[in-house]
Amino acid sequence: MPNKLNLKNISQNSGCYLFYDKKNTLLYIGKAKNLKKRVSSYFQKTKKSPKTQSLVKKISRIETRITNSENEALILENNLIKEFRPKFNVLLRDDKNFLYLKITNEKFPKLEITRRLSRDGAFYIGPKTSAKKFRNTINFCQKIFQVRTCKCKFEDEKEKICITKNPEKRKIPCLDFHIKKCSGPCAENISEKKYLEEIQSMKKFLRGDTSDVLKNLNEKMFAFADEKNFEAAAKMRDLINSIKDSTKKQNVEFPDLIDRDFINFFRTKDSAYFVRIIFRNGKFLDQNEIMFSTPEHIEDAELLKNFVIQFYEKVDILPQEIFLPTVPQDLDFLLDFLENIKNKNIQSNKKNKVQIFCPKKGDKLRILEMAQKNAKNFCDKNFLEKISYEQNFANALPELQKILFLKNKLSRIECFDISHFGGNATVGSQVVFFDGKPKKSQYRRFHIKNLAPGQIDDFAAMQEVLERRIKYFDLENKKIKKNNNQSKNDSDKKLDKNDKIKKIPDLIVIDGGKGQLSAVLKIFETYKLSKKIFDPTKQIIALAKREEEIFLPKKSDPLIIEKNSSALKLLQRIRDEAHRFAISFNRSVREKKMQKSVLDEIDGIGPVTKKKLIKKFGSIGEIKKASNESLSEILNENQVENLRKIL
């Protein structure tokens, strides 16, 4: 045992341990009731899995964090894993893609999609990973309940007046009202009482209780029939049938009306595919598919523990019962953790404690087995999509090379875009794709320096970005030649990975049309590059968004590629990535300016506290929306009071 690990000095208290390698990279985070006993067990001469052996060989330094209890250690472990995302821990892959349906906590609540589950008194449904399903749900709810989705705000309690950009049109309802997708509360077309009744009916419907909705639709259908409006009655009938079909009796239905979740998974070498089957009021409601990154050495019990901790923090309402295929690690502390989450969630039922079961027979076992089959299908679907995707883009590069009449094989493609906000915070982006795949370590961001604040000139901005990029062409070409000579003279010496990567693009894609392309070509004319290095007359194109037209140098007419072409899809993907990267940079620049000007004015809030606020809430807007309770997790009473004065 290496003395530098200092196992003798490790505390016997509860807490978390952090393993680092020689390069000071965090490898693994764990928690223990007795830190010394748990950490020492890794280095005892007992049989270990290959992955655990691999982990232990890499450990060069150990850190510990002491807590007051094992339960606190469990929470700290979860927070540290989410913050540092170590290689050897179980990690939720797609948490940023979780979506929630939100009914806001306002005088006239609205329906919207959000990615954040907040304690703001709103009503949430989720999470889901498909925005399309939620949009379909919103469209359905607009038709049936006519709830608003607009951004209108209401003034004081006495006047229900919509605040819009045109004050003279404040009482004119929006388009949704005219197409019968909103009851028009902003124009006083519905009473507050009636509107809130519709909201309550919608909440029940979204929770799986369709009785009130079906009763209401039946009444409308018969009313239309009495009025001899048979077309409208037929539409109501079809709507009733579609609801009945979607909520028809399942293979299993529980008469006790208990809320239950059934969770099972399917593992591959480095991933775990989970399926959560949701029953509410005894009836099947929904299904989630969630992917985790998980090392091979992680046992199923630890995997399940990590799933429950990382996933259920993001669930709108906790069920009364959770069914798992095996007992998770740290069961007692896990139940306390869930109870703590439930008590913080105002939507959850506080009466019944969350319980975890592992059924051995009957309907509950059958549902768990069905969840495992669905998890296997989820894994297979993901694998096939990945293979199909890779094959598609493998074909895209030679196809694109042929379409553009390029002699050399396409390897490195660079794409550039410009983003600004009314001429302010103008920035540029460069994304790089190698062999059809993004190489994010090669992405670059550009602050535009030659434009005055408020000046809008995309051509000049693109010229500045490309000029700064071209300056490195000769330098990179010399470096490549030097490395090639070095590798010939000294075949045993290994080159740095970045030196091996081709730095001069085979193709440059400009996000824009003919004007942007012409502006960029002028910059290349001032730099007499050897055509052996880069030929701008052949290796630069512009991709226009509107018609997906490709503009080539010295060609007056655009090149049109078939919409289903793999080459076009690759270009679109590269262009969209450059656009996303530019917009995210523009947004971060604007937020930093705003944060600097606003948060720095608040007495008692220093740089460290400011960083914590931004990390937790994401932006000034979200900080402003946050409840005092949420803010109190970071700020004291005086700081909250000072913040409210400014924001």
Residue-by-residue DSSP string for 605-643: --HHHHHHHHHHH-SHHHHHHS-HHHHTTT--HHHHHHH
Query: Tokens in use for 124?
Result: 């949430």
Query: Are 261 and 322 a contacting pair, CB within 8 Å?
Result: yes
Residues of the chain with pLDDT under 70: 1-4, 94-97, 129-130, 152-173, 245-252, 345-350, 388-393, 474-501, 591, 594-597
* Closest C-alpha to 316, from 556, 101, 476, 77: 101
* Residue of 312, 274, 279, 318 lying closest to 292 (CA atoms): 274
Phi/psi at 46 (5° precision): -120, 165
Q: Where are the alpha helices (DSSP H) in 286-440?
A: 300-312, 331-344, 362-403
Asked if 163 and 155 count as a contact pair (C-beta separation under 8 A), the reply is yes
Q: Give the CB-side neighbour count of residue 490, counting CA atoms within 13 A.
A: 6
Q: Which of 309, 269, 271 is nearest to 291 (CA)?
A: 271
* Max CA separation in the chain (angstroms): 94
Q: How many angstroms separate the CA atoms of 563 and 542, rounded? A: 17
Q: Which domains does the chain have, with CATH numbers?
A: 3-89 (3.40.1440.10), 99-206 (no CATH), 260-380 (3.30.420), 412-486+499-583 (3.30.420.340), 602-646 (no CATH)
Q: Residue 53 in 3-state DSSP?
A: helix
* Nearest-5° Cα angle at 410, 405 to 416: 95
In angstroms, the CA 500 to CA 494 distance is 10
> What tokens does 507 get?
């193709």
**What residues contact residue 71 under an 8 Å CB cut-off, 6+ apart?**
333, 336, 337
Residue 84, token pair as written in the block? 């540092």
User: Is residue 274 within 8 Å of residue 298, measured between CB atoms?
Assistant: no
In 3D space, the residue among 288, 286, 287, 277 whose CA is nearest the CA of residue 323 turns out to be: 277
Please report the pLDDT score of residue 611 as a whole number: 79
d(CA 216, CA 197): 12
Name residue, tokens 């005892």: 44
Q: Which two tokens stand for residue 80?
A: 């540290």
Say how far apart CA 356 and CA 330 lie, in whole Å. Answer: 12
Contact 218, 243 (CB under 8 A): no
Cβ count within 10 A of residue 590: 16
Beta strands in 230-282 (DSSP E): 260-267, 271-280
Q: How far is CA 64 from CA 19, 30, 32, 53, in A?
A: 9, 10, 10, 21
Length of the chain: 647
pLDDT of residue 577: 93
Can you give the pLDDT at residue 594?
61
